[in-house]
Amino acid sequence: MIPFTLTHETALITGASRGIGQGIALALGQAGATVIGTATTTEGADKITQYLKEHSLTGEGRVLDIASFDSVNTLMTSLEKQMPTILVNNAAITRDNLLLRLSQEDWDAVINANLTGVYRLTKACLRAMTKARHGRIITITSVVGVTGNAGQANYAATKAGVIAFSKSLAKEVGSRGITVNTVAPGYIETDMTKKFSEEQRAALLKQIPVNRAGTAQDIAAAVLFLASPTASYITGETLHINGGMFMP
């Protein structure tokens, strides 16, 4: 049983059509929040609306391209009468390659979506939170943001960047009743990781003391905690949810 309620909260969750984003949307919705989940396509937004309805939760899906200022502006204008009090920056992209083969286009695309996109949407939500003197900003980073990973220099750079971004912002807005934190998943079972070979899975599991992959629900539980009133004295922190794969 959840020892608190998010009944009067509105949660904006990017990349909520599947995987970790969907798990977060369901967890916050079940705690009572009104959920605005985003996807890059109308089909994805409709999927969000449908699964919220199937679970008898309040909210809907919206279309958002976090790499586009115009798309962010359009979304926030439409939410003017229901501004988010909880923001979960979850959406991200990958364009993996060794640095010597990494194109400028793929570098720029990942930086623009994963790092500049977080800046763009966070700033758009911040004014209303500041005025209300209340808010929760939670960004999904990654274990590779603190360990690095060959072939992911662009992705790892963005995931490290959002940690530093969040620590800096936490210092700026803490006095306004706004907390800013990150959650760093390790090896999580998603549609993407299900494509790994058995050899890749076995190699990853050898690095995890609890001997299993994480689930979207494991990440959602951490986000739910940070979004809750019980976490009001926690800011500028990174929760590492990785089964012991990395211990800072």
The residues assigned a catalytic role are 155
Q: Say which DSSP state 112 is in.
A: I
Taking the CA atoms of residue 93, residue 91, residue 72 and residue 35 in that order, the dihedral angle to the nearest 10 degrees is: 160
DSSP string, 27-95: HHHHTT-EEEEEESSHHHHHHHHHHHHHTT-SEEEEE--TT-HHHHHHHHHHTTTS--SEEEE------
Residue type, 144: V
For the beta carbon of residue 241, count every other beta carbon within 10 angstroms: 20
Burial of 119-158, coded b for 16+ CB within 10 Å and e otherwise, reads ebbbebbbebbbeeebbbbbbbbbbbbbbeeeebbbbbbb
Q: How many CA atoms lie within 13 A of 143 on its CB side?
A: 20
